[in-house]
Amino acid sequence: MKTLCSDLVNQLVQSINASGEMEVRAYLVGSGARNMFTQNGNNPVDLDYNLEVIDCDDFKRVREIKMFVQKCFNEVLQRNGLDDCHDSTSALTTGKIHFTTGNQTEFSIDLCIVREDEDGWYRLKHDKYGNIMSDPFRWNRVRNSRGLDNRVAWLKEESHWQEVRDTYLYKKNMYLTRGDHDHPSFIVYIESINEVYYHYNGGQYYG
């Protein structure tokens, strides 16, 4: 499952970078990247990827960025015999995929477009109010994401990473139970890191 999905996403990265429109890289985030896969009963599994925009002539062209990535992704999916992706509020989501032999659990790719600057991480969001021509696209800053790598390094050095894994699983289950779809794996991952980090270091992070 990871091999197939990562191959599709890598094809997308190669296509975008070859176009000269922008430079991107992609990686599996949250559960899948850290061997913390979660599945709600027998429901399908979502693999969450970040497509990070490293360089672009104008980051303010938010609508154009998402439309271009969606176009390229659909071309990759079509070449591999799959249906077009769906433009959700904060991700591009493929249809359900399953293998015809062995484990036939359905799975899909959720591709979140992100960027980072000195203030932290941003997710590209498409706010949907019912008018496709006027609905806004924007970069939404992820709270408390500034300096994330430093906190990750400290937690691993101090042997607290298992607590991050346990906190992540608890939070994923909590959001699934609530039917909360606004907390993808990347957001839950950041929340878990911050919660464990500040348990040991005191105070609250306002990044």
Domain extent, residue 133, equals: 2-145
Instruction: Tell me, yes or no, whether 8 lies in a domain.
Output: yes
If pLDDT is split at 50, 70 and 90, which confidence band does 90 have?
Answer: confident
What CATH number does residue 54 fall under? 3.30.460.90
Global confidence as pTM: 0.84
Q: What's the pLDDT score for residue 206?
A: 47
Q: How many domains does the chain have?
A: 1
Q: By the 8 A CB rule, do 2 and 46 touch?
A: no
Instruction: Tell me, yes or no, whether 71 lies in a domain.
Output: yes
Q: What's the pLDDT score for residue 19?
A: 95
If pLDDT is split at 50, 70 and 90, which confidence band does 203 have?
Answer: low
Angle at Cα 103 formed by Cα 100 and Cα 107, nearest 5°?
Answer: 80
User: In whole angstroms, what is the distance from residue 67 CA to residue 85 CA?
Assistant: 12
Angle at Cα 81 formed by Cα 79 and Cα 86, nearest 5°?
Answer: 90
Does 30 have pLDDT greater than 70? no
User: In whole angstroms, what is the distance from residue 141 CA to residue 156 CA?
Assistant: 25
User: In whole angstroms, what is the distance from residue 88 CA to residue 202 CA?
Assistant: 37
Residue 105: what are its φ and ψ, rounded to 5°? -60, 130
